Amino acid sequence: MQKYIFKRVITALITLLVITFLLFWLVRIMPGNPFPSERMTDEAIAAKRAEMGLDDPILTQFVRYMKKVLKGDFGKGTSLFNGAPIHTVLNKAIANSFKIGGIAILLGTFVGLVLGIIAALNRDRFWDVFCSVFSILGVCVPSYVFLIFLQYTFAYKTTLLPYFFDSSQFLKSSIIPSLSLSLFTMSTIARFTRNEMIEVMDSDYVLLAEAKGMYGYKLITRHVLRNALIPIVTVLAPLIVDLLTGALVVEKIYGIQGIGKLMVDAISGEGIDYNYVLALGILYSSLYIGIMLVVDLLYGVLDPRIRISAKGGDQ
Amino acid sequence: MTDQDFVLLKDRNIETDTNYASMPYWRGVFKRFFAKKRSVVGLVIVAAILVLALLGPVLSGYTYREITSVVDEETGKEVVARGISPRIPWLHKLLGKEDYTDRFADKTFLFGTDDLGRDLWTRTWYGARVSLLIAFVTIIIDVIIGMTFGLTSGYFGGAVDGTMQRFVEVANSVPRLVIVSVLAIFMPKGIGLVIVALLLTEWIGMSKIARAEMLKIKELEYIFASRTLGAGNFGIIFNDVLPNTVGPIITQVMFSIPTAIFTEAFLSFVGVGIMLPQCSVGSLIEDGFNNITTLPYQIVPPIIVLALLMLGFNFIGDGLREALAPKLEDM
């Protein structure tokens, strides 16, 4: 098991390093000049470039940049926020995105699980049909459409909730974005839970347990849920990544200063802010790889079969 | 022994065991696919949208960028059909309501017009056409790239496979958004960017499936036989194995198309996708969102088209998956 964990962690770190380097390299080979060239002579530009170390080999520059990044310093933006240090902007953005995304994940997972379990226990009856219609809707309609709908009904037609995000009344203004973000998670989890539960309930060992006289709550929690829940961990992972990082459109529409909105601002404006693209790229990639790693390891812990096959060597 | 002792077989009533009779593979797939109500519904939805996307803009008599206007006879000024809610004059008359009193009383706008005076029916189907076209083109290229990559990787195995799979692992670990943002640095915003972004991400899933199929198939006897008869690597990969991977790949295509449409919609919404005056489902939703307080009906058609496309392709994909790999109880 230790060897397995070690191997996974090392692979993840190498992957991350490769991606970071690629990002860094791509951003550096961009055509264009980091200085307003009309006002500077060629010599001045050359001097400035040398001072900033832009003429050094790319690897030296990369190592220098990474040393700073590891200390939490991403440099300054080129066009956004008048060149304020990126890490201060980023810290606030991360906090906002993670709060909204976190609520959405908790809400989505909980309601999704409950809905899926109810649907599986009432197979082919009302709740099952409701669950499948709901999950179809949740998967087919993008979250920003729900957001627009909620915003229009609850913030524009009636003024029950704020029209835009306002950090001074966090709870009230996080209802609309969290709810609309959670619907996709909710429907995916609900559908998945239902299918897994039904598969387990049809299995021989549950039949055996029933034959031995076990029924009801005990059967469901001890025998069915335990096995049905394991695979859900794997679907949850990409959903978490999506919610923590990919709430882009939702943040843009609802005016939340999160990392998604930062990314939109960095790439969709007139000038593209390379430093933000780089910093956010690194952030997104590490989150993505990190969560995937955690899930992989967790899955190994939960399901002994994975562990055993990993011990047997590279498969 | 005379001739009478022998009876021709065809004269006797021979019963065939229909339950266990062998059926050609694809006919079985076909039958199982159409036996599910869902798959048929999906197929009908997708077919209907395809037909409307092809014919809708032609039938309306408007074009996607044409601004409808009439010249006022008294003042000689041009009046533009801005923000007209959906109207069908003959239906209106049929219901016995009063005639419209404005200058566009006799014109039909099934979905209304937008804030610039363009017919939304035309724009919606034109947008659907653009979205579908982008999805189809990119997915076809992705299938070619992904299958070649996956089949090669799986076939050769060993060090080749190892290297190629490390590459896939790295490629798969880059969030789509990061790819898009880096692309936005290098490329002008527009259709090209959407297509390249999709090309860079969607082939991975295809290659994984192709590889898995290859690993399964290459151990089978017929491949061994083929090799014994002198088939080369190329021949085995593309003549012997490729045709047998078609099923899972088609299923994956049906799930990739909605992903492509979704991604395109998302990129256009964010402002790095389709550029004006072109439109796609995504950019139409964005337009509708920008005008939601003044023209709330504008956002409805593109959302419904998007949702129906998702639904249709997902249903077809589900149906195909079940039809291709039937469980015993379904047969």
Domain around A148: 90-273
Question: For residue B10, what pLDDT is reported?
Answer: 65
In a domain, A99, yes or no: yes
Asked if the C-beta of A246 comes within 8 angstroms of chain B's C-beta atoms, the answer is yes
Nearest CB to A277 within list B185, B310, B314: B185
- The CATH number given to whatever domain includes residue A159 is 1.10.3720.10
Instruction: Please tell me what DSSP assigns to residue A155.
Output: I
User: Which residues of B fall within a CB distance of 8 Å from A277?
Assistant: 181-182, 184-185
Maximum mean pLDDT: which of A9-13, A36-40, B287-291: A9-13
Contact A152 B170 (CB under 8 A): no
Instruction: Please tell me what DSSP assigns to residue B238.
Output: I
Which residue is closest to B189 within chain A, CA to CA? A268
d(C-alpha B316, C-alpha B223), whole Å: 31
Maximum mean pLDDT: which of A103-107, A287-291, B287-291: A103-107
The model's pLDDT over A115-129, given as tens digits with 9 standing for 90+, comes to 998 898 888 888 888
d(C-alpha B318, C-alpha A65), whole Å: 47
Q: Which CATH superfamily is domain B35-59+123-330 in?
A: MetI-like (1.10.3720.10)
The C-alpha of B179 sits at a distance from chain A's nearest C-alpha, in angstroms, of 9
d(C-alpha B314, C-alpha B297), whole Å: 27
Please compute the mean of the pLDDT values over residues A176-194 and round it to a whole number.
Answer: 88
Pair of tokens at residue B201: 């991400």
Question: For residue A315, what pLDDT is reported?
Answer: 36
Asked if the C-beta of A138 comes within 8 angstroms of chain B's C-beta atoms, the answer is no
In a domain, A41, yes or no: no
User: Which residues of A fall within a CB distance of 8 Å from B181?
Assistant: 263, 266-267, 277, 280-281
> Using an 8 Å Cβ cutoff, are A210 and A200 in contact?
no
Question: For residue B270, what pLDDT is reported?
Answer: 77
Question: For residue B44, what pLDDT is reported?
Answer: 92
CB contact residues (below 8 A), chain A span 145-174, against chain B: 145, 148, 152, 156
In a domain, A245, yes or no: yes
d(C-alpha A227, C-alpha A229), whole Å: 6
Closest CA to A65 of A16, A28, A10: A28
In a domain, A190, yes or no: yes
Question: For residue B12, what pLDDT is reported?
Answer: 57
| Segments in B157-190 forming alpha helices (H) | 158-173, 176-186
> Using an 8 Å Cβ cutoff, are B113 and B83 in contact?
yes
Asked if the C-beta of A249 comes within 8 angstroms of chain B's C-beta atoms, the answer is yes
Which residue is closest to A261 within chain B, CA to CA? B270
Q: Is the ipTM of this complex over 0.85?
A: no
The model's pLDDT over B217-276, given as tens digits with 9 standing for 90+, comes to 888 888 888 888 888 888 888 888 888 888 888 888 888 888 888 888 888 877 777 777
d(C-alpha B40, C-alpha B317), whole Å: 11
Closest CA to B58 of B128, B133, B122, B129: B122
Question: For residue B322, what pLDDT is reported?
Answer: 81
pLDDT higher than 50, residue B331 = no
pLDDT higher than 60, residue B330 = no
Q: By a Cβ cutoff of 8 Å, what residues of chain B touch chain A?
A: 169-170, 173-175, 177-178, 180-182, 184-186, 189, 262, 265-266, 269-272, 285, 289, 292-293, 296, 299, 303, 306-308, 310-311, 314
Q: A–B: how many Cβ contacts below 8 A?
A: 104
| Number of domains observed in the structure of chain A | 1
pLDDT higher than 60, residue A151 = yes
DSSP, collapsed to helix, strand or coil, labels residue B80 as strand
d(C-alpha B87, C-alpha B108), whole Å: 6
In a domain, A148, yes or no: yes
Which residue is closest to A314 within chain B, CA to CA? B162
Mutation for testing the B interface, residue in A20, A192, A249 having most B CBs under 10 Å? A249
The C-alpha of A167 sits at a distance from chain B's nearest C-alpha, in angstroms, of 23
Mutation for testing the B interface, residue in A28, A141, A145 having most B CBs under 10 Å? A145
User: Which residues of A fall within a CB distance of 8 Å from B262?
Assistant: 142
Contact A253 B289 (CB under 8 A): yes
pLDDT higher than 70, residue A69 = yes
Residue in this structure with the two tokens 């950019």, named with its chain if needed: B283
Which residue is closest to B259 within chain A, CA to CA? A140
Q: Locate the domains of chain B by residue range.
A: 35-59+123-330
Contact B285 A145 (CB under 8 A): yes
Contact A252 B270 (CB under 8 A): yes
The C-alpha of B159 sits at a distance from chain A's nearest C-alpha, in angstroms, of 13
Question: For residue A313, what pLDDT is reported?
Answer: 41
pLDDT higher than 80, residue B53 = yes
> What is the reported pTM?
0.80
pLDDT higher than 80, residue B98 = no
pLDDT band at A61 (very low <50, low <70, confident <90, very high): confident
Which residue is closest to A271 within chain B, CA to CA? B185
Closest CA to A88 of A247, A270, A257: A257
Residue in this structure with the two tokens 């060149």, named with its chain if needed: A83
Higher pLDDT, B41 or A56: B41
Q: Please report the DSSP string for A24-36 in residue order.
A: HHHHHT-SS-SS-
User: Which residues of B fall within a CB distance of 8 Å from A248?
Assistant: 177, 266, 270
From the number of C-beta atoms within 10 Å of its C-beta (0-12, 13-18, 19+), residue A62 rates as middle
From the number of C-beta atoms within 10 Å of its C-beta (0-12, 13-18, 19+), residue A11 rates as middle
Please compute the mean of the pLDDT values over residues B180-205 and round it to a whole number.
Answer: 83
Higher pLDDT, A156 or A108: A108
In a domain, A239, yes or no: yes
Contact A280 B181 (CB under 8 A): yes
d(C-alpha B158, C-alpha B156), whole Å: 7
Contact B314 A272 (CB under 8 A): no
Length of chain B: 331
Maximum mean pLDDT: which of A215-224, B128-137, B174-183, B260-269: B128-137
Q: Determine how many CB atoms are found less than 10 A away from the CB of residue B295.
A: 20
pLDDT band at A314 (very low <50, low <70, confident <90, very high): very low
Pair of tokens at residue B179: 């790819």
Asked if the C-beta of A228 comes within 8 angstroms of chain B's C-beta atoms, the answer is no
